[in-house]
Amino acid sequence: MSFSVFGYGSLVNRATLPETIDVRPARVKGWRRAWRASSREVTGGVCAVSVMEDAGSEIEGLLCTFDDTYWPTIEAREYRYDAIPLSGADYADGLSLDGPMLIFKASAGSDHFGDEDNPITLSYIDCILQGFLREFGADGVSRFMETTEGWSVPIVDDRAKPRYPRAQQLSADERKLVDRMLSNVDARLLPADDGGPPRNSW
């Protein structure tokens, strides 16, 4: 048996996924992203991307189909999130697959916008936007920015010592694109404090 997950953040970067799984670009209706998966980790608070219902919105991502043996791994990766079933009608592309189709939304205890005590890490944004650039081009990156709420949440510049465990190496052009996109939304970057161990575990 298998199950499918609509990835709308770091799951869109194929480098964070096993090479053996089936992935395909997809779009879902009735959702938009938001920086509101906040929680306290061992070394401090962090904020990740989640989704919120929005009848007038549509977002792009990757539909990732896993063998059931991967469920414990996905459950651990999305441990602060609830799995919400989707139907074929939720997919803008009219996809129909065997097995459950899921989207992960921040659980009640984590579902609030980040702040200075719960910042986003730049290495996490780098990973996400690199994935969107490779899948959907520069226009897809722009659409990600437009369909994501909460760019006022502070971002810790941890590029020198990435805290995100699935951090990816970006080219100079990719970094410039990310920096330009963040500048366009007046994102506020904070310097990394002690460059300690990774704080993010999703």
Reply yes or no on whether the pLDDT at 195 is more than 60.
no
Mean pLDDT taken over the chain? 90
pLDDT at 70 over 70: yes
Side-chain half-sphere CA neighbours of 160 within 13 A: 8
* pLDDT more than 70, % of the chain: 89
pLDDT at residue 95 in the model: 62
Give yes or no for residue 161 having a pLDDT over 90: yes
Q: How far is CA 153 from CA 17, 20, 148, 170, 199, in A?
A: 27, 35, 12, 23, 17
What pTM does this model have?
A: 0.91
Q: pLDDT tens digits, residue range 30-62?
A: 999 999 999 876 557 899 999 999 999 999 999
How far apart are the C-alpha atoms of 84 and 127, rounded to whole Å?
Answer: 24
Start-to-end Cα distance in the chain: 25
Q: Which domains are delineated in the chain?
A: 2-191 (3.10.490.10)
Q: Evaluate whether 198 touches 162 at the Cβ level (below 8 Å).
A: yes
In this predicted model, which residue has the larger pLDDT, 1 or 172?
172
Q: For residue 192, what pLDDT is reported?
A: 87
- Whether 198 has a pLDDT exceeding 50, the answer reads no
Q: What are the distances in angstroms from CA 185 to CA 145, 153, 190?
A: 8, 11, 15
Could you read off the pLDDT of 89-135 as tens digits, one per residue? Answer: 677 666 666 667 899 999 999 999 999 999 999 999 999 999 999 99
pLDDT at 92: 67
Between 79-93, 102-116, 152-166, 169-183, the lowest mean confidence (pLDDT) is in 79-93
